[in-house]
Chains A and B, each alone.
Chain A
Amino acid sequence: MRRAEFITAGILALLSIYLMWKSTELEIGYVSDEGPGGGAWPFWLAAIMLICTGVIAYNAIKKTSPPSQSKEPLLDGYGKKMLLLVGGGIFGFIALIDILSMYGAMFVFLIYYLKVLGRHTWRLTLTIAVLTPIIFFFFFEALMRITMPKGLPFLEPVFNYLNTIIY
């Protein structure tokens, strides 16, 4: 993890520099009679972030922080697989929202997660995967009046019909 500690500190240092650079779009100095300009707050805080990453890297050299003493890799085989399957699953879920609507994407994700990752029975998987979107639909659209993405136009007749039920 020591290497990861260095690399992360480096990435965060770059992020800090980017934030500082981006902040300079507005005044970062002290305007007389006015106090700090619009970019000052993020600029100087990002500068503190940069200093912190330096100290973090220094601590890693001196091995004073727990992660820099650890010999384990940041991501072992399990971690990589987990990130790919679970993180990738959520990524797929979000990507599907614009196509299948929030409810359709939810259905697909639940089947994936419960059946493929959870290895539950089809009966349980389908019960949850079907009921959850239905409950969410009525809760959000009818009760809370929060409209969720409805996907591509081919789903429009379905939702128009559902709308006639709930309104």
Chain B
Amino acid sequence: MMEVIGQLGDGVLMSLQPLNLALILIGVTLGLFIGAMPGLGSVNGVAILLPITFLVPPGSAIIFLAAIYYGAMYGGAISSITLGIPGASTAVATTFDGRPLAMQGKARLALVTAAIASFIGGTVANVLFTGFAPLLASVALSFGPPEIFALMLLAFATFVGLGGDDIPKTIFSICIGLVFAAVGFDEISGAPRLIFGDISGFLHGINFLVLAIGVYGIGEMLWTIDSTRGKITSTETKMSVKGAVEDAKYGMKKSWKGTTIGSFLGFFVGILPAAGATPGSLMAYGVSKLTSKTPEEFGKGHPEGVAAPEAANNSASTGSMLPMLTLGIPGSPTTAILLGGMVIWGLTPGPRLFTDQPEFVWGLIGSFYVSNFFALVVNLSFIPLFIWVLRMPFTILAAMIFVLSVVGGYAATRDMHDVWLMLGFGVGAYFLRKLDYPLAPAVLAIVLGPIAEPTLRQSLLLSSGDPSIFFTRPIAGPITVIAIVLILLPLLKVMFTKSKGNKPKDDGETLA
């Protein structure tokens, strides 16, 4: 253990060298803005800046990229809160409470809470990473397709609790998201699937961002203009250091539990190569709501609803570095590109990286700590700017959101087909929103579907079609059982209350 701390210390010192520190500051700032731009995420930042890193030594290069990665993780929450558009799938859950808080004039509270929760999540993940990386790598290896599917089932179980009161509409929303996720290509049989009208734009499937930007950037905006008759009075949020400190205290007091849950849950889901940060943030939100004393406040602007997913997605994103470094398996497109970068620099990620290249590994981990800290500082110092954005006259803000939506929708896949599709989703979402269809489940389902379906079918191939594989394996079994109980619980509750003749509450306001 002492040895680890010594190596880590060297790593941190390495990050604090003037060149590296400058790169970290530039990296987190750039990352913050890239992450805050709907349609762009850490993957863009990391991919595009890769060639630039040839100007500096490999050690500094990877530190720079890690800094961009951290900055972008923090940035994701910003567009969720200020614009109401999740810039990445990991930030969808942040909109559930972040957006209502912003609309109530508590954007500063939401932003400060998100930043601090992100920092805690990142720190917890870094500590776990430092202490147990090789051990955790073997845990990740023991997760095969049945285990991942069981985990997805668990993520879906938290959905049921997330949906509104209208169960059929919620189920409809989940299913349509899952069907959209199946568009494009069937990995198992290797055949094109659901290519509507033989349009080649569907060959690459329906990108999450296209649906998310359509639903939130266009649909939700149209609904907001309509329901407020275009007279949106953004309530005042002033920026003062004193106020921000109070917000930080209040936010953390309200949400320390969600932050803790998010930090640990996010990390453990994040280290599994196939899963990634989205199910982690979603499950953190669900579990926080389940264990909260005031679950009814979730979805209406509870700081814990911001803190839990933010802590989880930062923690998970750090965690997803683990399979990349120790197994050579990228857990997300971003780590895939980082992996490519390492190959370019002549490093072989995999089980031997920790022993063969300790300087590199500990330099990188040290830079995680330093980047995480500076990302917090940079993020907090830009909050006044983001609040200023919210105070713009609505006719300017709306125009900018539409422009960002169109540009972001194009940048996601660089295909005009997807921009049109996004507009279609937006208009469809507007009508469905008016009729109280919850749409967040569809947006999340399109992310989880491509993980759930192949792992389900791979598992059944493994077992020759016998579904008991999900119950008999030592890790998959318990997860599956918990997931099924969680799915059935609310359904039973609803049936029970219905049979007692309780009419549904007249409360159509739910997530979405």
**A residues engaging B (CB < 8 A)?**
1, 4-5, 8, 12, 19, 22-23, 25-27, 30-39, 41-42, 45-46, 48-49, 52-53, 55-56, 59, 64-67, 69, 74, 78-79, 82-83, 86-87, 89-91, 93-94, 97-98, 102, 106, 109-110, 113-114, 117-120, 128, 132, 136, 140, 143-149
Contact = CB atoms under 8 A, between A and B. Distances in A.
B460 A120 contact: no
A144 B44 contact: yes
Interface string B366-398: 000000000000000000000000000101101
Nearest to A36: B457
Contacts of A39: 193
* Size range of the chain B interface in the assembly: 35 or more
B416 interface: yes
Contacts of B191: 26, 38
Contacts of B419: 94, 97
A66 B508 contact: yes
B461 A110 contact: no
Given A45-B179, A87-B427, A132 B403 contact: yes
Contacts of A67: 434-436, 508
Contacts of B45: 144
Contacts of B435: 1, 4-5, 8, 67, 74
Contacts of A22: 194, 196
A118 B395 CA distance: 5
B194 A42 contact: yes
Contact of A33 (B189, B414, B464): B464
Contacts of B226: 78-79, 82-83
Contacts of A74: 431, 434-435
Contacts of B456: 35-36, 41
Chain A interface, DSSP helix/strand/loop, else mixed: helix
Given A22-B194, A102-B410, A35 B403 contact: no
Contacts of B225: 82, 86
Interface string B412-427: 0010100110010011
A64 B178 CA distance: 27
A35 B410 contact: no
Contact of A78 (B229, B430, B453): B229
A8 B432 contact: yes
Contacts of A102: 406-407, 410
A96 B414 CA distance: 16
Contacts of B171: 48, 52
B402 to A, nearest CB: 6
B169 interface: yes
A94 B186 CA distance: 31
Given A25-B193, A66-B508, A146-B48, 14 more contacts: A19-B194, A22-B194, A35-B459, A36-B460, A39-B193, A45-B178, A49-B175, A53-B172, A64-B504, A74-B434, A78-B229, A90-B402, A113-B402, A149-B416
